Amino acid sequence: MLLFGQTVICGILLGGMYALIAIGMTLIMGVMKIINLAHGALVMVGMYVTYVCFKEFGIDPYLGMFIAMPVLFFIGCLIQNYMINRLVEVDSILPENQVLLTVGIMLVLTEAMRLMFKSDYRSVSTSYSSSTVMLGDMSISVPMVIGFIIAMAFTFLLHLFLTRTDTGRAIRATAQDRDAAVYMGVNSSRITMITFGIGAALAAAGGSLLLPLFYLWPDIGHLFTAKSFIITILGGMGSTMGAAFGGLALGIAESLGATYISMGYKDIVGLVIFILVLLFLPGGFRSLARR
Partner 1 sequence: MKNKNIIYTAIFVILAAVLPVFIKAPYQLHMLILVMMWAVIGTSWNLLGGYAGQVSFGHAAFFGVGAYTAGLLVFHFGISPWWGMLLGPIMAAIVSLPIGLICFRLRGPYFALAMLALGEIFRLLFINLVSITNGARGVLIMPEITSKIFYYYVGLAMLLITVFVTYLIVHSKIGYYLVSIREDQDAATSLGVPTTLYKNFALLPSAFFTGLAGAFYTNYVAFIDPHIVFNLSNISVMVILVVMLGGVATTWGPTVGALIYIFLGEIFRTTLGSANVLIFGILVCLIIMFLPNGIVGELNLIKRIMSRKKESLTGGV
* Residue 8, amino acid: V
Cα 240 from Cα 162, distance rounded (Å): 9
Choose one: 162-170, 194-202, 221-229, 243-251; the region binding partner 1 (CB under 8 A): 221-229
Q: Could you say which residues in the range 230-249 bind partner 1, by CB under 8 A?
A: 230, 233
Which residues, 6+ apart, have CB-to-CB distance to 137 below 8 Å?
2
Cα 152 from Cα 67, distance rounded (Å): 19
Work out whether 95 is an interface residue with partner 1 (CB under 8 A). yes
Smaller CB separation from partner 1, 9 or 175: 175
- Considering only 32, 53, 101, 243, the residue that binds partner 1 (CB under 8 A) is 101
> Least CB distance from residue 280 to partner 1, whole Å?
10
Helices (H), 33-141: 39-57, 61-79, 97-117
Work out whether 268 is an interface residue with partner 1 (CB under 8 A). yes
> Least CB distance from residue 258 to partner 1, whole Å?
13
* Residue 24, amino acid: G
Q: How far is CA 262 from the centre of its chain?
A: 25
Cα 138 from Cα 151, distance rounded (Å): 22
Work out whether 180 is an interface residue with partner 1 (CB under 8 A). no
Which residues, 6+ apart, have CB-to-CB distance to 115 below 8 Å?
none
Work out whether 96 is an interface residue with partner 1 (CB under 8 A). yes
Work out whether 279 is an interface residue with partner 1 (CB under 8 A). yes
Cα 132 from Cα 16, distance rounded (Å): 18
> Least CB distance from residue 184 to partner 1, whole Å?
27
Work out whether 1 is an interface residue with partner 1 (CB under 8 A). no
Number of other CB atoms surrounding residue 18 within 10 Å: 29
> Least CB distance from residue 31 to partner 1, whole Å?
14
Work out whether 63 is an interface residue with partner 1 (CB under 8 A). no
Task: Please name every residue paired with 139 in a beta bridge, in sequence order, or none if there are none.
Answer: 134
Q: Could you say which residues in the range 6-45 bind partner 1, by CB under 8 A?
A: 34-35
- Considering only 59, 99, 140, 142, the residue that binds partner 1 (CB under 8 A) is 99
Choose one: 18-26, 133-141, 194-202, 260-268; the region binding partner 1 (CB under 8 A): 260-268
Contact criterion met (CB below 8 Å) for 195 and 84: no
- Considering only 153, 278, 288, 289, the residue that binds partner 1 (CB under 8 A) is 278
Question: Dihedral sign, CA of 181, 237, 77, 53?
Answer: positive
The candidate with the shortest Cα–Cα distance to 254, out of 274, 238, 240, is: 274
Work out whether 112 is an interface residue with partner 1 (CB under 8 A). yes
Number of other CB atoms surrounding residue 216 within 10 Å: 20
Work out whether 114 is an interface residue with partner 1 (CB under 8 A). yes
- Which parts of this chain interact with partner 1 (CB under 8 A)? 34-35, 83, 86-87, 90-97, 99-101, 103-108, 110-112, 114-115, 219, 222, 226, 229-230, 233, 262, 264-265, 267-268, 271-272, 274-275, 278-279, 282
